[in-house]
Homo-oligomer: A and B are copies of this chain.
């Protein structure tokens, strides 16, 4: 059989949900983009120069030298001292809670995927921003939802308009998903007023808000806006009554390679997620949870400070280079944190076509913006990550890109 025939022979066997999951192959693209020789503003990954390698060495040695066994299976909800650390961290963000309000996940990606499986049935609606985090669309799409658009910064649509559309599709509105701080891909932060409006809408629709806080610690300037879960706890009196869930991660501050994130929410919800975790992979790597606890105790605050200074410098370089080189008609966001700047090209420009030219003629890579829209809009947008490039590369990259535009 040929390779195509072999693939075709499997095709009818796959569940519909798995076909939906396969729709976006953008990560394959990212792999190609991050090739040596290419000035890449594509992958949104942390700068490895920031990784706390010495802390990690010390932590692994300590865990493997202690009698508590990092090499054994563990409980599905996660390592208790780590969950206690996370609960204290959440308290510091305005979310008083305890360890039973936390489940440890393999990065916040797994948290999103679990919440999709817990809440979404085929035909149900997930409310998302447009654009939004591509990985969330991938995670939810395995549950075969439809999507509808949130615009909390510009006033909510009426609840009835969401409900009518989803009823026609045979489902219910089941969740709202946002990246409130320095969003992937736009770099923008939801204002306090928008967060309040979002909670108002969620209350009217009686749905939970899933808050993806991947970049929250990476604020360069301005005052932090309270997490949506903190506002909801304030409204409802307790996290146990809250209709909001917080997905956190150590990936952007300490290390993504250990795959340690968490979900914070009401205990009733966390208990259900623990059953999904058991069925999915039994538990997150025991040793990595113990090591992350060590590293968080030893280095979290210092790492946050280092990362903020580091990425702030890079953002400034990128904004300066855009200012210097981009022609009129091109606009971009000015994020107060995170890893991304979002660029809007003149209407009619196709960023996917630009990418092909850019790779060939300029050796500059970025991610075309269309992939971040649930409905295929945004062809004239693109995402630039400033996490990896130095000042000279950034300037050279933007000069080349501007010439192509």
Contacts and interface: CB of A to CB of B under 8 A. Distances in A.
A158 interface: no
Chain A interface residue bracket vs B: 35 or more
B56 A72 contact: no
A191 interface: no
A79 to B, nearest CB: 10
Contacts of A118: 14-15, 18
A9 B238 CA distance: 14
A1 interface: yes
Contact of A1 (B18, B27, B64, B240): B240
A161 interface: no
Given A117-B18, A257-B70, A259-B284, A279 B141 contact: yes
A106 interface: yes
A46 interface: yes
A45 B31 contact: no
A162 interface: no
Nearest to A70: B257
Interface in A55-73: 56-57, 60-61, 64-65, 69-73
Contacts of A6: 240-241, 266-268
Contact of A31 (B10, B53, B75, B124): B75
Interface in A64-90: 64-65, 69-76
A331 interface: no
**How many of these chains are in the complex?**
2
A254 to B, nearest CB: 8
B109 A281 contact: yes
A179 to B, nearest CB: 16
A175 B283 CA distance: 26
Nearest to A75: B31
A127 to B, nearest CB: 14
A135 to B, nearest CB: 7
Contacts of A51: 69, 71-72
Contact of A117 (B107, B135, B142): B142
Contact of A18 (B18, B60, B240, B272): B272
Interface string A1-35: 10100110110011111100110010100010000
Contacts of A347: none
Interface string A98-115: 000000011101100100
A281 B143 CA distance: 15
A121 B281 contact: no
A7 B273 CA distance: 13
Nearest to A61: B57
Interface stretch (A223-231, A285-293, A348-356, A365-373): A285-293
A139 B71 CA distance: 23
20 contacts: A1-B240, A10-B266, A10-B268, A15-B120, A17-B121, A18-B118, A22-B275, A45-B72, A48-B69, A48-B72, A51-B69, A71-B257, A71-B258, A72-B256, A73-B257, A74-B257, A113-B281, A135-B278, A280-B280, A288-B288
A255 B71 contact: yes
Contacts of A60: 57, 60-61, 64
A27 B275 CA distance: 9
A84 to B, nearest CB: 18
A13 B119 contact: yes
Given A15-B143, A280-B113, A259 B241 contact: no
Interface string A32-50: 0000000000000110100
B10 A107 contact: no
